[in-house]
Structure 1
């Protein structure tokens, strides 16, 4: 009993020290320090309690010395950062609006107006190059304490929702209005932006572009001959028969030239509108070359959507495999099916209108270049400013537009004639035109990489390597890795060694761009190991990448994939 009494007395004393004297001592110690009296742990505890009261699910983690948590509140994605030695917390509302990069000027203009009218809240944007989109975020600094934290957080998030509603309603109206305007620069003139060239909808793919003599008219659609060449890499084929199956018709065409010139879109599109949802084409053709054989190509044509100026449709092209014979080995290209899906558009706009727009853009690009205002040029204008011939500039310009909108098949119909024209004059090209030539070569190589025609990719990209541009080199490495080329490991190792030699010679550390390039090479090297089933080497490399923020997500996913393979999952 006596022992229990003394134990009780000791616990009582410790309780008084911890919850009475220690807070009083800490308050006196921090007296006069103002806002900076708060400690990192204080804010973390306060935020934790507040989020629990708001019924938010969250977890904490540390990144670069900061305590960070992400959570959802009323369908909004939020993030809170607590930085060391700061009395404030940073609240961010992530991805509250997403749109296409075509409307970046509109977004920036409205965002700047909003930022001028907010107090502490600021809007920022980020670019997603993979999806060709613009993401909007809001951020604000908050000073909280245990008594007011719930109210302050709730009010701040409600305020963000209000700004989101206002922003979305205004930007949607601006985008709708801008599609009716032509030739205006919104950000500089504070008017409705509407250069039709830059406001073409995502993946609005023009099909009337088969060569330098062609113009983009409804009378010049994508033909089967173009599909065989650009999508499947088949040239010199001899069509034997074409069977068409749809709700409205079922017929067979035997005439070779008629098959070559046949437009798949005509099966579902009539006069400025869709006739039906889908159709199926089956083409028998004779291939020439090392192996002469009869092949079958199946083409599924399906309507996608209708916009103001275009009818969107998708063509899924399948080259059926040949059966194994003494000439056709198992695992060869002829024994494997090849499937490519292409989104296209049947353009309803006036070709003269498009040409007038191009002439305006080209003239403006030339004039700005002469005045030294190159920073104001778009990427498309920078390319065409180097082309002195109108026809060549038009092909390069429109091809770049199509490329930026991921219309790779159609972009080739313009970029390749531009490449041929410049290559024939290469010896006499000035320096800026040679830069344009290599840029066009890169764009063509990228397009073919998307269409998985890796041998063609190598042809166009290898000539860009002496330019020593990281983007060109990365796409070349992607081609080798994705095409399972035996040179992939050799090239990657050579580039890594070159980066180390450059670092040793210069005596400096790698800059951010070089570090990003090195990380890219290691990720691609890991992919090569996995493709070659060298899983132990891949795991060793991937584990080294786990501590790097730029590589960690990739490493985690690939390690999980390897584990799944090893366990037979």
Structure 2
């Protein structure tokens, strides 16, 4: 993996010639950018099941009917009333279509892409379009005499989103959901476990004839496989393909921690959960290294921290409990903070257990970090007494800290708060 990343980062930063002028550098950058978006998407497209590999062109459409029929075997007579919801940032707007042939032949690319006056193709509506389709399972015709309750009208949801591309090919992802359909007595379905059926499909719009581009992609793909098998370094285009075959956990770990610096907690989680799942699978297979373990534990800590910052305490505790046995002071502090902030009943017991363990340490084992942790635990213990309504215990604990430089300012403010609580309590009684 290190060799792979070293190869791409090394190659991507080298100019092909020292004498390149500004315009050539700009063109080279655009070419690289297009390859970086086109090649991975083409990889995903080519590795779908064949019946879902749908390509549109100026004279060929990818229609809603073809998508529904190839993915969930839905027939034209089973659908009606298409409602198209477009999201253009400022507001959502909707359009109702009732004609069955227009619904079945609805152009999916036209819903997401727009051709500008200069001929360039781009995404519209902030790249998001949602389709709500009325659906009657098994419906044949008006003369159909089947009165089954399970054949009432339901809805199918199709979410369309632009996935990037270039001036010649644009990719769109369709996420399709069939909800659990109505049935007498809310029947339990063993096959699906009453879960909605979902599928995600990537399709393409080629502004020009795609044969040459696809041939170029296949050539790059074959060359990449050969180099990977022989342990050779990859160039930029080959890396774009390889990045789809090999989990880029190093990159995800790096970017997760980078966006965290900007307090982008959810963005960090999206990156780092990729790392978590990839390393978890490696651990289960028994091929995890010591370096992988350190990355795994740090990833769990950071994900837990992010969830805690968003006050999603249960999710935070799931990840922080993974690192709890390591007895790392930083990890322990975040875990105890999460317990306390979520008013978890385990807080006081956990703090007392930690204080008892510190009391067993020899004098030679007490470091500055241990002293810092000990002060933290005492402050949290007193704070937890306040949460539990044990105001006298909290007051006594904070008074013990008034002569300690590390704790006195915090203790003063908390003692004032305790006096306010006691006044309110006496007034109410």
TM-score, normalization: structure 2? Answer: 0.42
> Which structure features the higher share of helix residues?
2
TM-score, normalization: structure 1? Answer: 0.32
